[in-house]
Amino acid sequence: MWRQWIPFWHPGVSPEGGDVDLLFAGLLIASALVLGLLFFLLALFCVRYRAGNEIDRENDEAKSWYWEVSWTTASLLCFLALFVWGATVYFEIYRRPPDELTAFVVAKQWMWKVQHSGGQSEINALHMPVDRPIRLVMASQDVIHSFFIPALRLKHDVVPGRYQDLEITAQRIGHYHLFCAEYCGTAHSGMTGEVVVMEQADFAAWLSQQTPTSSLADEGGALFRQLGCSGCHSAGSKIHAPQLEGVYGRPVPLSDGSTVIADDKYIRDSILLPRSQIAAGYEPLMPSFEGKVTEDQLLRLVLYIKSLGRQP
Amino acid sequence: MTEPNYLTADYTLRSWFFTTDHKRIAILYFASLTMFFFIGGAAATAMRIELATPQADLVSDDIYNRLFTMHGIIMVWFFLIPSIPNTLGNFIVPLMIGARDLAFPRLNLMSWYIFMLGGSVTLFAILAGGIDTGWTFYTPFATLYSNSYVMVAAAGVFIAGFSSILTGLNFIVTIHRLRAPGLTWYRLPLFLWSLYATSVILVLATPVLAITLVLIAVERFFGVGFFDPRIGGDPLLFQHLFWFYSHPAVYIMILPGMGVINELVSCFSRKQVFGYKFVAWASLAIAALGFLVWGHHMFVTGQSLLASLVFSFMSFVVAVPSAIKVFNWTATLHKGSLRFDAPMLYALAFIGLFTIGGLTGLFLACLAFDVHATDTYFVVAHFHYIMVGGMVTAYFGGLHYWWPKITGRLYSEYWARAAAILIFLGFNLTFFPQFVLGAEGMPRRYHVYPPEFQVWNVLSSGGATILAAAYLLPLFYLGYSVFFGARAPANPWDAPGLEWQTSSPPPEHNFDVQPVVTRAPYQYSRKFEAKPQNA
């Protein structure tokens, strides 16, 4: 494999990893050619034209513009090629993930908390099956963090106040570093963990050994009652509030005439900032849950509402 | 008894602290910047010693975070941004254009006082307990979570910004209005073109930083939601505002360095700069395009893919004028008569190191590779090649070049060359291993790290020790020369610029007779003798 020929370089183990490595190799070669030419010319001129060296210096007062135009054009073309190459791979890395096996990542000072949809949770570790894409939904409890797995050549900031989607696939079994790459305070360099890539069967076995208390959606259902959401958002309620069964993934008409799709972000925002997007035909009665629920709980609520959608 | 020069005209403290002479103000800046350079350097040295082992052994994590924040804030705002413009620029600009002083001498002095006030406030924040946000002040960490002296440090930076704006304004007006008779725009030495471009950025970009710091204060004190998502703000808005200033600020830091290199390469090749007009306009192109690339710091934040695409493209485009400059400097050497005095060694080091820094900048402009490399040591290595390998090297080159003019003394050429070579070697040993660390995935701002990264960290720390020692050397031989060095002639390098056509050190009024410029800069005869611009 050509990738092993880059010194000190451990090949990437994700599908995009190979492309990123190839791009890196391309950049290295292009730079080496430019630097080689530059250092050669510098050395040559320094030796040939050193003061006192008798050599032909008949001055070339010829016009310099064609030199200027040619090296400007050459640089621009090279740069354009590298730009297109880098952009192509970038779009592949950050393409919008389809809805597949999902894990939820909550970042907080200074730990990573990973929850699988079955309710299994782990701290500073992410177990995943080999060769199977996983969609990560990430949220931050406090400041900006950045989810970075060097072996997969992948990084994505986790910015508070929003969900971030990222699809990851690992093609080789093993243990890999998970780092926080965005400075987040005192123990930033301690906010590291391990990505454990397992055989698919081993992963299934691992999941079942973890004996979760209950699935995240079920826990969300419990929260839904505990926080009093069910008081308004249930069929028998006297208060005029939207019914949430089947709402997930559907368009919701808003009071200002526009329409949004009820995705993770919309549901999250509706819990925290209920007055920002009011469903058409309803009074803005709902209180904000800002500061009353953690990202962990929000995630469960979103999953619960999502699970309502699946019921007939 | 000869006529007194600007140094011997008066010896009182009052004559220094209330001077409006651009040359004395340059000396005031030089003394303050030297102090800041060694404070920032000491912080870096402490960090490199800590990083020699993977565990925490020298300092705690909180102290480590304060060290890199202090290093960044001091070096960016209190050394790099003012370095060449406020010391060498202050001294040389009026001399180069044949003027008596800058356009606004009192404003110039005021800008030094503002700078010192900002510096003192920042130093107070550091002594009182330090700041742990990083020099980037990212929200919501800086606004809500940090318990350190964020607002005091931000106030210091805010104040120092006005010094930048005033200096920029002063240079722009001076270059427009005070040029000697006959000194047309295309007869200006390229150092002035680059300082002009720098000044435009200083005046246009610095207010954005000021506004951003005010917004942080308003959010921190009055709870108005700009950046905090819990009160309706957007943390990424801060990054947009911050980089809208801070990326152009990178060009504030490097353009003056490029300007100095033109002077050095031309003088020590005994030839005019190849492609004068292209180099001149490249400076302005960099200043203009530099405002359109800030989003390349945010490729992994979740900004829209289209935005990333545009910012990546613009970042490649802004590299073109820099490439033009490198090619022109190299072509200047062709068929010259090269002398390798200390300033020329620095100039050659600059060309090599700046090119490595520039090329690795393309790696980071390249979207897919940036996803892997951003926020790792690759970025740290890249910008140190530009800022230290480029800017600081150019600063030292310029300092050595104009030292005889500034002090009227000659330094030891032997020691100067030794220091130049030692700095070059120490620098590469410090920062080259960081490229490898970054490519292998070691994140920046890490106080402890996995043991497999140790080899490269040890190399880097070893290099830092050499570099630290090498940076101390000029303090000795340049200091020695001020008292015991041989008297410098007016034009020790036989250079054609106007600043060399008056005595060393210059009299208070700069020129006894108003020089009249008769030719383009950088003219040499066939025997490689300088043809003064005013003869």
What secondary structure, in 3-state letters, does B476-503 show?
Answer: HHHHHHHHHCCECCCCCCCCCCHHHHCC
Contact B335 A64 (CB under 8 A): no
Q: What is the pTM of this model?
A: 0.91
Residue pair B379/B370 in contact (Cβ under 8 Å)? The answer is: no
Query: Residue by residue, what is the 3-state secondary structure of A140-175?
Result: ECCCCEEEEEHHHCEEEEECCCCCEEEEECCCCCEE
Q: Which residue has the higher pLDDT, A6 or A104?
A: A104
A218: Cα within 13 Å, side-chain hemisphere = 7
Give the mean pLDDT of B367-373: 95
Lowest mean pLDDT among A55-64, A116-125, A163-172, B111-120: A55-64
- Please give the Cα distance from A19 to B448 (Å, whole number): 30
Residues in chain B closer than 8 A to A81 (CB atoms): none
Pairwise CB contact (< 8 Å): A189 & B371: no
User: What is the pLDDT averaged over residues A139-153?
Assistant: 93
With vertex at residue B322, the alpha carbon angle to CA B332 and CA B347, rounded to the nearest 5 degrees, is: 45
Contacts of B111 (CB under 8 A, 6+ apart): B86, B162, B163, B166, B167, B170
Cα–Cα distance, B69 to B443 (Å, whole number): 16
Does the beta-carbon distance from A190 to B448 stay under 8 Å? yes
- Quick one: tokens of B256? 């003056």
In the block, tokens 């900006």 appear at: A144
Contact B369 A38 (CB under 8 A): no
- Separation in Å, CA of A29 to nearest CA in chain B: 11
Per-residue confidence (pLDDT) for residue A312, from 0 to 100: 43
Does any domain span residue B493?
A: yes
Query: Computed over its alpha carbons, how large is the radius of gyration of chain B?
Result: 23
Partners of B327 on chain A (C-beta within 8 Å) are 67, 71
| Beta strands, E only, chain A | 102-108, 111-116, 121-123, 125-129, 134-140, 145-149, 154-158, 164-168, 174-180, 193-198, 251-253, 259-261
Residue A4: which H helix or E strand, with range?
none
Q: Which residue of B has its CA nearest to A153?
A: B372
pLDDT the model gives residue A4: 53
Q: Number of A to B CB contacts under 8 A, please give it.
A: 248
Out of B313, B324, B445, whose CB is closest to A68? B324
Within the 265-294 window of chain A, which residues sit less than 8 Å (CB to CB) from chain B? Answer: 273, 290-291
Beta bridge partners of A125: A194
pLDDT at A9: 66
Q: How far is CA A200 from the centre of its chain?
A: 23
Does some domain include residue B11? no
Kindly determine whether residue A76 and residue B368, on different chains, have CB atoms separated by under 8 Å.
Answer: no
Whether residue B61 has pLDDT greater than 50: yes
Q: Report if residue B8 sits inside a domain.
A: no
Determine if residue A135 is left, alpha or beta; phi over 0 gives left, psi from -120 to 50 gives alpha, anything else beta: beta
User: From the CA of B312, how many Å to the nearest CA of chain A?
Assistant: 7
Residues of A in contact with B229 (CB under 8 A): 159-162
- Give me the amino acid identity at B314: M
What would you measure as the largest C-alpha separation in chain B, in angstroms? 73
Topology classification of domain A216-310? Cytochrome Bc1 Complex; Chain D, domain 2 (1.10.760)
Six token digits for residue A100: 């597949």
How many angstroms away from the CA of B513 is the closest CA of chain A? Answer: 34
C-beta separation of B44 from B29 below 8 A: no
To test the contact with chain A by mutation, choose from B51, B277, B298, B300 the residue with the greatest count of A C-beta atoms within 10 A, namely: B300
Q: Judge: B316–A83 Cβ closer than 8 Å, yes or no.
A: yes
Instruction: Pick the closest to residue B522 from B332, B334, B335 (CA basis).
Output: B332
Contact: B330, A16; criterion CB under 8 Å: no
Which residue in B498, B530, B507 sits closest to B188, CA to CA? Answer: B498
- Provide the residue ranges of all domains of chain A, joining segments of one domain with +: 2-51+64-93, 102-209, 216-310
Per the model's pLDDT, the better-predicted residue between A55 and B93 turns out to be: B93
Nearest CA in chain B to A138: B302
| Domain assignment present for B301 | yes
A299 contacts A115 by C-beta, under 8 angstroms: yes
**CB contacts, 8 Å: A65 with chain B:** 275
Q: Does A180 touch chain B (CB under 8 A)?
A: yes
Reading the block at residue B272, the tokens are 């005019």
The structure tokens listed for B167 are 């200096």
So what's the pLDDT on residue A60?
A: 62
Q: What is the pLDDT of residue A1?
A: 46
| Mean pLDDT for chain B overall | 94
Q: Measured between CB atoms, which of B308, B338, B440 is closest to A8?
A: B440
Tell me the two tokens of residue A14: 């994700």
The number of folded domains in chain B is 1
Over B80-125, what HEC string results? HHHHHHHHHHHHHHHHHCCCCCCCCHHHHHHHHHHHHHHHHHHHHH
Angle (CA) A283 A286 A287, round 5°: 140
* Interchain proximity B331–A146, CB inside 8 Å: no
Q: Write the pLDDT tens digit of every residue in B203-212.
A: 999 999 999 9
The rounded mean pLDDT for chain A is 86
Scan residues 186-225 of A and list those with Cβ closer than 8 Å to B: 186-190, 192
Burial B173-211 (b: 16+ CB within 10 A, else e): ebbeebbbeebeeebbbbbbbbbbbbbbbbbebbebbbe
- pLDDT reported for residue B152: 93
In the predicted model, is pLDDT for residue B43 greater than 80? Answer: yes
Among the four given CATH numbers 2.60.40.420, 3.40.309.10, 2.40.128.130, 2.60.40.10, the one describing domain A102-209: 2.60.40.420
Instruction: Count CB atoms within 10 A of the CB of residue A186.
Output: 19
How would you classify the pairing of strands A121-123 and A154-158? Answer: unpaired
Q: What is the pLDDT of residue A227?
A: 84
- From residue B186, how far is each of A117, B103, B278, B405, B521 by CA, in Å? 69, 21, 11, 25, 9
Mutate which: B227, B309, B335, B372, vs A, most A CBs within 10 A: B372
The DSSP string of B184-226 is -GGGS-HHHHHHHHHHHHHHHHHHHHHHHHHHHHHHHHH---S
Helix (H, G, I), strand (E, B) or coil at B356: helix
B440 contacts A76? CB cut-off 8 A: no
User: Which residues in chain A touch residue B445, judged by CB atoms under 8 angstroms apart?
Assistant: 183, 188-189
Indicate the residue of A50, A183, A187 with minimum beta-carbon distance to B338: A50
**B55 and B116 Cβ atoms separated by less than 8 Å:** no
Cβ of A8 within 8 Å of Cβ of B439? The answer is yes
The residue of B335, B345, B428, B455 whose CB has the most chain A CBs within 10 angstroms, and thus the best one to mutate to test that interface, is B335
Which of A213-217, B146-150, B224-228, B363-367: highest mean pLDDT? B363-367
Tokens 């030297």: give the residue.
Answer: B34
Chain centre to alpha carbon of residue A299: 17
Q: Which of B412, B419, B420, B396 is nearest to B481 (CA)?
A: B412
Report A:21-80 residues touching B (Cβ under 8 A): 23-24, 27, 31, 34-35, 38-39, 41-42, 45-46, 49-52, 57-60, 64-65, 67-68, 71-72, 75-76, 79-80
Q: Supply the pLDDT for residue B90.
A: 96
Question: Domain of B41?
Answer: 18-501
The answer to whether the beta carbons of residues A160 and A141 sit under 8 Å apart is yes
Query: Phi first, then psi: what are they for B55, rounded to 5°?
Result: -85, 170
Residue B309 CB neighbours (<10 A): 18
B441, A151: Cβ pair inside 8 Å?
A: yes
- Looking up tokens 């270059």, which residue turns up? B175
Domain of B297, CATH number, reads 1.20.210.10
pLDDT in tens, B498-511: 999 999 999 999 99
pLDDT tens digit sequence for B64-87: 999 999 999 999 999 999 999 999
Q: What angle do CA B87, B278, B182 make, to 5 degrees?
A: 65
Distance CA A132, CA A135 (A): 10
User: Worst-scoring range by mean pLDDT, A291-300, B217-226, B284-293?
Assistant: A291-300
Indicate the length of chain B as a whole number. Answer: 535
**Which residue in A3, A176, A182 has the most chain B C-beta atoms within 10 A of its own C-beta, making it the best mutation to test that interface?**
A182
B457, B433 contact by CB (below 8 A): yes
> Does any domain span residue B479?
yes
On whether the CB atoms of residues B138 and B150 are closer than 8 A, the answer is no
pLDDT band with cut points at 50, 70 and 90 for residue A5: low
B58–chain A nearest CA distance, Å:
15
Q: Does B436 sit within 8 Å of A46, measured CB to CB?
A: no
Contact state of A109 with B367 under an 8 Å Cβ cutoff:
no
